[in-house]
């Protein structure tokens, strides 16, 4: 039987996401419960390079389950992508006696973890990112909170759009992935939902939808757009403000833009995020403590499970076109 880890380090990396703290708490308590020493690495991979490591005890993770952000801080690190940076990171782990590492983050963070796994470190990846854009998993920690925050904000904007009989253009997060826009757009009855996965035609997908719904008696309009659609090459508009100005001019309906931005990243995690994070953190510690490293955790068929890291990272992400089609038929 494989030897389990005796000292497990944990870090968060990439963009923060609500629920990361619940995952860290569960991993620490799960690991301590199995007799492991637990170490927290501050500021992601950069903290590993800079030797920002501290011992975590049961009480170190008190009072965090309900908090957004990450108690370990997070960072992006260009140095870590280099072989020299990775050597420094591995040296830090060795100096502290860590024989395993849990990484809470997104796809990029997992690629970094895979590099360490190929150099002998036992790793487990926990999907923590608001975008829900990790191909191997149906769900990522933070997504539910982010979508609910976007819904709450859009509901507020709808009230004012309704009172003034306006069009409200709302830009939500998602550079390459339209999941937040799709979910929030469905939940708020948006007239148009624009996502990076689908090329959009301004006349057909925005103006004609507004004109059609207006002809059926609609007096206020919600357009939800992923930030990524304005950054694609060949995009007709370089910003949501520019699109709003065009809508005002071309439809005669005054349009206003709101960019939700980082409010979608913060806030107390929802029940779903806290529970999924707790399950994943606990499983990560269990896997490493029992010698089953080099796994990426995922939700499949609604259940938390673990996948081989190489296999997990070779998965191809699929956008839910069926759901998108449904949204088009409902928002009339």
Q: Report the site for ligand ATP in 75-104 (rule: CB under 6 A).
A: 76-77, 80-81
Q: If binding means CB under 6 A, how many residues of this protein chain bind ligand ATP?
A: 18
Residue 122 C-beta: closest distance to ligand ATP, Å: 17
* Residues catalogued as catalytic: 131
226 binds ligand ATP (CB under 6 A): no
Residue of the chain from 99, 115, 227, 279 that contacts ligand ATP (CB under 6 A): 115
Give the rounded distance of the alpha carbon of 299 from its chain centre: 14
Residue of the chain from 112, 178, 185, 281 that contacts ligand ATP (CB under 6 A): 112
DSSP-derived pairing of the beta strands 53-56 and 167-172: unpaired
What the block records as the tokens of 265 is 């990243």
264 binds ligand ATP (CB under 6 A): no
Q: Report the site for ligand ATP in 127-166 (rule: CB under 6 A).
A: 129, 131
Q: Report the site for ligand ATP in 21-80 (rule: CB under 6 A).
A: 45, 76-77, 80
317 binds ligand ATP (CB under 6 A): no
Q: Which residue is nearest to ligand ATP (CB)?
A: 108
Residue 80 C-beta: closest distance to ligand ATP, Å: 4
227 binds ligand ATP (CB under 6 A): no
In whole angstroms, how far apart are CA 257 and each of 171, 308, 327? 8, 43, 21
DSSP-derived pairing of the beta strands 122-127 and 53-56: unpaired
Residue 142 C-beta: closest distance to ligand ATP, Å: 8
Residue numbers at the binding site for ligand ATP (CB under 6 A): 13-15, 45, 76-77, 80-81, 105-109, 111-112, 115, 129, 131
């Amino acid at each position: 039987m494989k030897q389990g880890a005796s000292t497990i380090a944990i870090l968060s990396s990439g963009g923060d996401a609500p629920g990361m703290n619940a995952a860290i708490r569960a991993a620490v308590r799960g690991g301590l419960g199995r007799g492991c020493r637990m170490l927290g690495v501050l500021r992601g991979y950069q903290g590993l390079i800079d030797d920002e490591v501290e011992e975590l005890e049961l009480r170190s993770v008190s009072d965090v389950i309900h908090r957004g952000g990450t108690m370990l801080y997070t960072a992006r690190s260009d140095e870590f992508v280099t072989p020299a940076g990775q050597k420094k990171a591995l040296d830090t782990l060795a100096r502290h006696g860590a024989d395993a590492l849990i990484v809470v983050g997104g796809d990029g963070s997992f690629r970094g973890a895979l590099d360490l796994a190929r150099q002998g470190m036992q790793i487990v990846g926990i999907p923590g990112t608001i975008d829900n854009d990790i191909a191997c998993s149906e769900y990522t920690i933070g997504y539910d909170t982010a979508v609910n925050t976007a819904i709450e904000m859009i509901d507020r904007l709808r009230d004012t759009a309704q009172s003034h009989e306006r069009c409200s253009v709302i830009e939500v997060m998602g550079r390459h992935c339209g999941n937040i826009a799709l979910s929030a757009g469905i939940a708020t009855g948006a007239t148009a939902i624009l996502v990076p996965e689908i090329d959009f035609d301004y006349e057909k997908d925005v103006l004609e939808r507004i004109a059609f719904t207006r002809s059926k008696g609609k007096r206020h309009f919600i357009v939800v757009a992923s930030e990524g659609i304005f950054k694609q090459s060949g995009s007709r508009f370089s910003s949501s403000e520019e699109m709003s100005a065009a809508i005002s001019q071309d439809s005669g309906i005054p349009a206003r833009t709101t960019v939700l931005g980082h409010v979608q990243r913060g806030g107390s995690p929802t029940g779903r995020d806290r529970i999924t994070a707790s399950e994943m953190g606990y499983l990560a510690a269990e896997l490493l403590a029992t010698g089953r490293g080099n796994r990426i955790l995922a939700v499949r068929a609604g259940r938390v499970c673990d996948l081989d890291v190489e296999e997990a990272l070779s998965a191809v992400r699929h956008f839910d076109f069926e759901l998108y089609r449904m949204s088009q038929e409902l928002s009339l």
